[in-house]
Amino acid sequence: MSECHDVAAPALQIATGAPLIALAGQPNMGKSTLFNMLTGLNQHVGNWTGKTVERREGFFHHDGREFCLVDLPGTYSLTANSPEEVVAREFIVRERPQVVVAVVNAANLERSLYLVAELISLSAPVVVALNMMDVAAQEGIIVQPEVLAAALGMPVVPMIASKAVGVKELLSVVAAILDGKLVSSPKLPEVRADHREILQQLQSLIAEHVPPPYPPEWVALKLFEGDSEVTRMMESELPAESMSAVSAILRQHDDAFLAVASGRYEWIGRMVRAAVTQPRIGQISMTERLDHWAAHPIWGLFILAGMLGLVFWVTFTLAAPVQDWMDERLIAPFAEWVGGLLQGAPSWVQGMVVDGAIGGVGSVLTFLPVLVVFFAAFALLEDVGYMARAAYVMDNLMHLMGLHGKSFLPLFLGFGCNVPAIMGTRVIDSWPARLLTILIAPLVPCTARMVVVAFIAPVFFGENALWVSWGLVLMTLITLVLAGMLLNGILFKGQRSAFIMEMPLYHIPNARTIGLLVWQRSMAFVKKAGTAILGMSLVVWVLSYLPYGDLNTSLLARFGQFIEPVGRWMGFDWRLTVALITSFPAKENAIATLGVLFGNSPEAGLAEALAASFSAASALSFLVVTMLFIPCMATVAVVRQETNSWRWAGLSVALFLGLSIAGGALTYHLAVLLGLG
């Protein structure tokens, strides 16, 4: 998961002719650790063209030579089950990296060689990075790299990427292959014996029609595996009669994919038997002992709740003082200083720069400390291996919405900010489940909304403010579950996607991996503040200034008065309505707008003015609406980007508009009935 939505960012400056190296591997093999180790901050995160799959590339130097490194998405295989798998293989086939480094896990050789078995049937030379030698030793497994290399017919470099052991050796091997001093000539796996003849037959049927640069043998295998993309490609390439012959073969052998997979595992079995001289000893591992609690259906939930509580506690304890400090010591003096510089300028210029630009972007930037701490805590839990357990224990609850455990991970991220949450839905394999998660993710109360609650609740509810805040969070989460159940029933007819997820071994977190993840997520947020939020802040300011330079007669006020009747259902006057509308660029703008509308700084003065102007019922309704309102502009933009459709983004806006108005009206009238009016 990461924030690589900035496709237009400048590409890296890499010397032309630098050799192109691809890094491939299954998830949880230490591939990212190796990538970060090699490239450090010389990396760029973007998207693969036309795909919502993260593309990470970077450069590094070795022996005075520059190399370009592309980190392929972590996938278990190269069959077109997901966009990640398509991206990985298309890269190798079309962009022709000079060397592919396949990262495998020495502690789990059998499974991790599966991807290698797929990689070697493509054209590029493959080097095996035998990572996690230390973990293997801990588990009592002994692997002999030389024997493995001889068996595979490929160079194998033992390494411990997290400790930078073996990295130089790996690069020397890569360089040797580039210079032609070393060749990788792997022994290819075959399909299981009972299907070999029929595969031959298939291959001869298609051989002449396979479009270059695809290797015909590989295409035949993929047809056997029922790969949807390759099947589609051959349907358009093959003459009708050959295609019907091919279809007949495939129909007759619809279990052929198992023959292919079994063939690969037979091949792997031979390699493992040769190279692993001591298999895992039957001790109860640390992972097993921890999972006894962390993955328990009941204790696991308590542990998860404890973890969440801890994350929030740490986030607000560490970050809140920094946030106040930024507000008072950084943003305010900066605004004053700029104001001083602009003394001679017309008042509208001063207003636009100081109130519009600095006020708008500044208030958003003060969230950075909160997000940094939250992202760090999340990245730590992720890197340790805990998040898979969180997904596992949440599976039952997610079933209520037709989702499964994996959807919980992005939703959790949403407590920090909804934008990375929606990007984080990329971990979900099936598209309907991912879409549903994207649609409900804005119902996770983000820090920005909690700021509005934290400001308004004490004004109206005094000592009960904490209970009101918790109640609002609970109400929002219950709405999330109900909305999920409803949408699943309507849009997806209650179908449910499969839950298949590896539970990685727990391991010691890598500071560099966490640091880079936090850095990338935070920078994406800063970029957003500097572009989209800046733009919208200026628009709101202009609307609140024109035509007479007075807010009360401005276009914004007129608009607020125009739609005030709708606001009235929820107990709002035009000012609360306007505040709500201006929360679209960024949720916490609501307070800034109220500050402007009441002609006060958003400090104690505003609190008194609000208390004098509105009833508790109106305030409660305003808070409910804030929690349920249209997602912020950045979130809507990401929904549109990740679904690649304005339709879903529009539906999301309409959904939350309806939900918030209904929720607000209901709350207001109930509160009035209860005597809060």
- The binding site for another protein (CB under 8 A) comprises 76-77, 79, 81, 107-111, 114, 225-226, 257-258, 261-262, 265, 280, 287-288, 291, 295-297, 388, 391-392, 395-396, 404-405, 429-430, 496, 498-503, 505
Q: How far is the CB of 80 from another protein (least distance, A)?
A: 9
Nearer CB in complex with another protein: 79/323: 79
Phi-psi region of 40 (alpha: psi -120 to 50; beta: other; left: phi over 0): left
Nearer CB in complex with another protein: 100/632: 100
Q: What DSSP character marks residue 160?
A: B
Nearer CB in complex with another protein: 178/301: 301
Q: Tokens 């490609």 map to which residue?
A: 233
Q: How far is the CB of 77 from another protein (least distance, A)?
A: 4
Q: How far is the CB of 428 from another protein (least distance, A)?
A: 13
Nearer CB in complex with another protein: 25/445: 25
| Whole-angstrom distance, CA of residue 201 vs CA of residue 195 | 10
Q: How far is the CB of 502 from another protein (least distance, A)?
A: 6
Nearer CB in complex with another protein: 65/399: 399
Nearer CB in complex with another protein: 402/602: 402
Nearer CB in complex with another protein: 396/552: 396
Nearer CB in complex with another protein: 199/353: 199
- 426 membership: H or E segment, kind and range: none
* Chain centroid offset of residue 213 CA: 32
| Whole-angstrom distance, CA of residue 518 vs CA of residue 530 | 18
User: How many other C-beta atoms lie within 10 A of the C-beta of residue 140?
Assistant: 14
Q: How far is the CB of 499 from another protein (least distance, A)?
A: 3
Rg of the chain over all Cα atoms, to the nearest angstrom: 29
Amino acid in position 271 = M
**Exposure class string for 293-317: b at 16+ Cβ within 10 A, else e:** ebbeeeebeebbeebeeebbeebbe
User: How many other C-beta atoms lie within 10 A of the C-beta of residue 198?
Assistant: 17
Nearer CB in complex with another protein: 257/312: 257
142-143 vs 20-25, strand pairing mode: unpaired
**Exposure class string for 265-279: b at 16+ Cβ within 10 A, else e:** bebbeebbeebbeee
Q: How far is the CB of 91 from another protein (least distance, A)?
A: 19
**Exposure class string for 376-403: b at 16+ Cβ within 10 A, else e:** bbbbbbbbbbbbbbbbbbbbeebeebbb
Nearer CB in complex with another protein: 165/501: 501
Nearer CB in complex with another protein: 28/363: 28
Amino acid in position 410 = P
Cα–Cα distances in Å, from 163 out to 29, 110, 130, 512, 591? Answer: 14, 23, 14, 11, 48
Half-sphere exposure of residue 436, counting CA atoms within 13 Å on the CB side? 34
Nearer CB in complex with another protein: 79/469: 79
Q: How far is the CB of 437 from another protein (least distance, A)?
A: 16
Q: How far is the CB of 273 from another protein (least distance, A)?
A: 13
Q: 673, exposed or middle or buried, with CB in 10 Å at 0-12, 13-18, 19+? A: exposed
Q: How far is the CB of 133 from another protein (least distance, A)?
A: 16
Q: How far is the CB of 36 from another protein (least distance, A)?
A: 24
Q: How far is the CB of 318 from another protein (least distance, A)?
A: 32
Q: How far is the CB of 295 from another protein (least distance, A)?
A: 6
List the structure tokens of 106. 């020495």
User: Cis before residue 213, ω within 30 degrees of 0?
Assistant: yes
| Whole-angstrom distance, CA of residue 124 vs CA of residue 113 | 17
| Whole-angstrom distance, CA of residue 672 vs CA of residue 677 | 4
Nearer CB in complex with another protein: 403/540: 403
Nearer CB in complex with another protein: 262/600: 262
Q: How far is the CB of 63 from another protein (least distance, A)?
A: 36
Nearer CB in complex with another protein: 107/592: 107
| Whole-angstrom distance, CA of residue 544 vs CA of residue 579 | 11
Nearer CB in complex with another protein: 293/470: 293
Q: How far is the CB of 294 from another protein (least distance, A)?
A: 11
Q: How far is the CB of 595 from another protein (least distance, A)?
A: 49
User: How many other C-beta atoms lie within 10 A of the C-beta of residue 175?
Assistant: 17
- 59 membership: H or E segment, kind and range: strand 54-62
Cα–Cα distances in Å, from 472 out to 81, 170, 327, 468, 564? Answer: 40, 54, 26, 6, 24
Q: How far is the CB of 498 from another protein (least distance, A)?
A: 5
User: How many other C-beta atoms lie within 10 A of the C-beta of residue 40?
Assistant: 12
User: How many other C-beta atoms lie within 10 A of the C-beta of residue 595?
Assistant: 19
Amino acid in position 537 = S
DSSP for 208-244, written as a single string? GGPPTTS-HHHHHHHHHTT-HHHHHHHHHHS-HHHHH
Q: 254, exposed or middle or buried, with CB in 10 Å at 0-12, 13-18, 19+? A: exposed
Look at the alpha carbons of 386, 388, 393, 398 in this order and tell me if their dihedral is positive or negative.
positive
Q: How far is the CB of 297 from another protein (least distance, A)?
A: 5
Nearer CB in complex with another protein: 240/500: 500
